């Protein structure tokens, strides 16, 4: 009986040296490459000598001389799916939309890029650009990034038009010119109010890397107080006016009013916000005594009907 044993051939692993990391490339300029091409063509200089003289890569010089590379100024590496001019249009569109207050996020940008690619008869592998394409897009166009926008009320957003803003400043200019206050910044005042929450907002803490859920004890008090602040065009401010939430004067007892800035005035309202009557009280009891007796003076503010 003949036994045949089949031995499987095993491949021995060959330890190959690891490939060294590539250094920086494209350490040459287009001007030096142009001079090298002219030197080879006009002055009968050899390619090797031109590469050493002008510090340009030999293979790139050969490609330029042979006509394989026609475009001047092209970047090294693989071509992008979208042509450079299409990417510039997409970036301009996103930047202009963000400047108008109607910007879009990364997901919408990828959708616009996919539609633009279909329009130019090119396509991405999965139909829409990947996150890798987005990272490359940010590197190629370093003037774009993901930013957190600030919420703006719809009424204010409607007023953020060039024609309306110019009309506003023309009105202010005419008022200042009519009252001869254009060269008197110390007589031009601006008032605004802002709400401050009394709840402590925790800051960043040092924790274990990768932690997802961190807690920090707070008071849980979501009460809000209102601060009315005024400053003139010369940089001088008057003491603030504080409005706390309450129905009677006893609501002021829970605040350390003695620690407030000197000459600060206080009042109270049911909601803690400026209500009709409080604005008039602030105007007569706080603002007028603090600005002196020189007249006329201009006060720019919102909600003028409260002070009438």
- For the stretch 160-179, pLDDT in tens is 778 888 998 999 999 999 99
Predicted pLDDT of residue 231: 93
Q: Respond yes or no on whether the N-terminal peptide bond of residue 292 is cis (omega within 30° of 0).
A: no
Same domain, 270 and 299: yes
- 166 and 126 fall within a common domain: no
Question: What pLDDT shows up at residue 306?
Answer: 41
Tens digits of per-residue pLDDT, 216-265? Answer: 766 666 677 888 899 999 999 999 988 888 777 777 777 777 888 888 88
pLDDT at 33: 85
Q: List the domain range (segments joined by +) for residue 46.
A: 30-66
Q: How confident is the model at residue 207 (pLDDT cuts 50, 70, 90)?
A: low
Is there a single domain that holds both residue 177 and residue 263?
A: no
Assess whether 44 and 136 both reside in one domain.
no
Is 3 a residue whose pLDDT tops 50? no
In this structure, the answer to whether residues 230 and 299 fall within a common structural domain is yes
Residues 133 and 252 in one domain: no
pTM over 0.75: no
Look at residue 204 and tell me if it is in a domain. no
74 in a structural domain: no
Q: Mark whether 174 and 188 lie in a shared domain.
A: no
**Residue 34 is assigned to a structural domain of this protein:** yes
Q: What is the mean pLDDT of residues 176-191?
A: 92
Cβ neighbours for 191, distance < 8 A, ≥ 6 positions apart: 228, 229, 230, 287, 299, 300, 301
Is the pLDDT higher at 308 or at 36?
Answer: 36
Q: What is the number of domains present in the chain?
A: 4
pLDDT of residue 273: 60
pLDDT of residue 7: 45
Confidence of residue 308 (pLDDT cuts 50, 70, 90): very low
In a domain, 12, yes or no: no
Other beta carbons within 10 angstroms of residue 198's beta carbon come to: 14
Q: Which is more confidently placed, 191 or 15?
A: 191
* Claim to verify: residue 237 and residue 301 sit in the same structural domain: yes
Q: Quickly state the pLDDT bin for 2 (edges 50, 70, 90).
A: very low
**Arithmetic mean of pLDDT over the chain:** 80
Residue 222's CB: how many other CB atoms inside 10 A? Answer: 8
Same domain, 56 and 130: no
> What tokens does 140 get?
């190629």
User: For residue 42, is it within any domain?
Assistant: yes
């Amino acid at each position: 009986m003949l036994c045949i044993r089949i031995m499987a051939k095993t491949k021995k692993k060959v330890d190959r040296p690891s490939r060294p990391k590539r250094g920086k490339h494209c350490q040459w300029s287009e001007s030096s490459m142009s001079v090298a091409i002219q030197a080879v063509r006009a002055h009968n200089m050899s390619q090797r000598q031109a590469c050493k003289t002008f510090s340009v890569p030999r293979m790139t010089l050969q490609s330029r001389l042979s006509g394989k590379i026609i475009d001047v100024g092209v970047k090294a590496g693989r071509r992008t799916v979208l042509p450079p001019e299409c990417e510039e249009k997409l970036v301009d569109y996103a930047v202009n939309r963000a400047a108008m207050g109607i910007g879009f996020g990364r997901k919408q940008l990828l959708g616009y890029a996919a539609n633009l690619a279909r329009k130019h008869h090119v396509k991405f592998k999965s139909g829409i650009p990947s996150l890798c394409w987005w990272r490359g897009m940010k590197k190629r166009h370093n003037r774009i990034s993901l930013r957190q926008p600030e919420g703006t009320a719809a009424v204010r957003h409607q007023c953020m038009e060039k024609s309306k803003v110019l009309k506003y400043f023309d009105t202010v200019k005419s008022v200042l010119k009519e009252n001869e206050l254009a060269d008197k910044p110390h007589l031009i005042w601006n008032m605004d109010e802002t709400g401050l929450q009394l709840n402590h907002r925790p800051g960043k803490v040092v924790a274990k890397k990768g932690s997802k859920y961190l807690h920090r004890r707070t008071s849980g008090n979501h009460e809000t107080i209102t601060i009315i602040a005024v400053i003139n065009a010369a940089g001088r401010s008057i003491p603030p006016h504080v409005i706390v939430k309450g129905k009677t004067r006893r609501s002021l007892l829970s605040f350390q009013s003695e620690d407030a800035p000197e000459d600060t005035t206080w009042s109270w309202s049911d909601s803690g916000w400026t209500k009709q009557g409080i604005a008039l009280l602030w105007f007569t009891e706080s603002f007028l005594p603090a600005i002196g007796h020189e007249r006329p003076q201009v006060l720019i503010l919102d909600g003028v009907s409260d002070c009438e």
